[in-house]
Amino acid sequence: MRHGAGGSSTRVLVSGFEPFGGAAHNPSQDVARALDGTCLADGSVLHGVVLPVRFADASTALAAAIERTRPCLVLALGLATARSEVAIERVALNLCDAAIADNAGLQPRDMPVIEGGPAALFATLPVRAMLEALQAVGLPGTLSLSAGSYVCNEVFYRLLYAQGAEGIPAGFMHLPPIERMALNDQLRAVRMALDAALAEMSDDNNVTPGVLDIGRS
């Protein structure tokens, strides 16, 4: 049986980011917006939200979206400009070390995401099953061991740190630029990864959707 029992009452939250670093577009934003209000294969309703690329506000915005939608699963998306395939992240680091300033001009260097937190946290989605679903239909994808140390990683780490108490499965996927992978293929990849994640989760791992306090500590 699928996680959350499927059906229209099951909600899945997908977040993307606004453009940053002088770029005009961010495919993670486009994907989150395009998926908002659509349904997965089992009838689960997707909710999309676009986060600011600001260390001070991104996780707070995601926490508000989680409180509003109360999802059974959260998948955050971001842009990796150097990639040419979808990267399913396995690890979030307790490190903020920004090579460029965020959209508010903040550029933390060698700072923890959460003081005293674990050095690293692992995604709680079935990342291998998600990857295999993409590979089965020829979509380019890989498992990645680092989400970097920019706002993407900060959001990923805070999400995993908070969901430890609530048990809501959560993960992160980096998308390539549209020039390297068409937006329709990126949309298809995210939907297939989510379908695979929900199919992999049994009722033994099911939890009641809850509220995550992932705002800045």
Just list the catalytic residues: 89, 152, 174
Angle, nearest 10°, between helix axes 58-69 and 151-166?
40
CA pair distance 191, 193, nearest whole angstrom: 5
Query: CB within 8 A of 207, min separation 6: which ones?
Result: 72, 166, 167, 168
Please check whether residue 42 is in contact with residue 2, taking contact to mean a CB–CB distance below 8 angstroms: yes
Parallel/antiparallel/unpaired status of strands 91-93 and 120-122: antiparallel
CA pair distance 186, 77, nearest whole angstrom: 11
CA pair distance 66, 162, nearest whole angstrom: 11
Please check whether residue 149 is in contact with residue 95, taking contact to mean a CB–CB distance below 8 angstroms: yes
Please list the residues that pair with 15 across neighbouring strands. 49, 76
Please check whether residue 193 is in contact with residue 161, taking contact to mean a CB–CB distance below 8 angstroms: no
Vertex 145: Cα angle to 162 and 216 (nearest 5): 25
